[in-house]
């Protein structure tokens, strides 16, 4: 099952992370959190890993609408976006809300997920 939308992008890793944040902002998503997995694993586990960042992005209007439809949906928020480097190539990917929200049997959420997914894909494509 495909649960993410991904593409390789040109540019140096730090530049791609910043372009990713800007692209999602242009679609109405703020970056609520940024987790540097490479640094965390090195510090906590003493292991080396390629550069890998998880961004938690949120569109307040859609999040509000989703929470009005399903109080516990916060368990699936914010939307995760990843930027990582593998074999000297940088990839950007986002969760597919239609897949994530499909575990909740709520028609209103399914409609919101479709709208959010279109914006998330557009943001990835614009990086």
The string of pLDDT tens digits covering residues 57-109 is 999 999 999 999 999 999 999 999 999 999 999 999 999 999 999 999 899 99
What's 29's domain CATH number? 3.30.310.70
CA distances from 88 to 23, 29, 32, 41 (A): 22, 28, 27, 20
Res 55: pLDDT? 98
Closest CA to 55 of 111, 16, 88: 16
% of the chain exceeding 90 in pLDDT = 98
- Report DSSP state, residue 87: T
**99, 73 in Cβ contact below 8 A?**
no
Res 115: pLDDT? 97
66: containing domain = 4-126
Q: How many domains does the chain have?
A: 1
- The model carries a pTM of 0.94
């Amino acid at each position: 099952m495909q649960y993410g939308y991904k593409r390789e992008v040109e540019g140096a890793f730090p530049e791609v992370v910043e372009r990713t944040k800007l692209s999602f902002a242009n679609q109405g998503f703020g970056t609520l959190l940024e987790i540097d997995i490479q640094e965390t694993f090195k510090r906590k586990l003493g292991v080396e890993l390629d550069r890998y960042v998880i961004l938690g992005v949120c569109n307040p209007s859609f999040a509000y609408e989703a929470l009005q439809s399903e109080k516990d949906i916060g368990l699936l928020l914010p939307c995760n976006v990843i930027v990582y480097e593998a074999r000297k190539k940088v990839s950007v990917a986002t969760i597919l809300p239609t897949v994530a929200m499909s575990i909740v049997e709520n028609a209103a959420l399914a409609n919101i997920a479709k709208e959010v997914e279109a914006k998330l894909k557009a943001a990835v494509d614009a990086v």
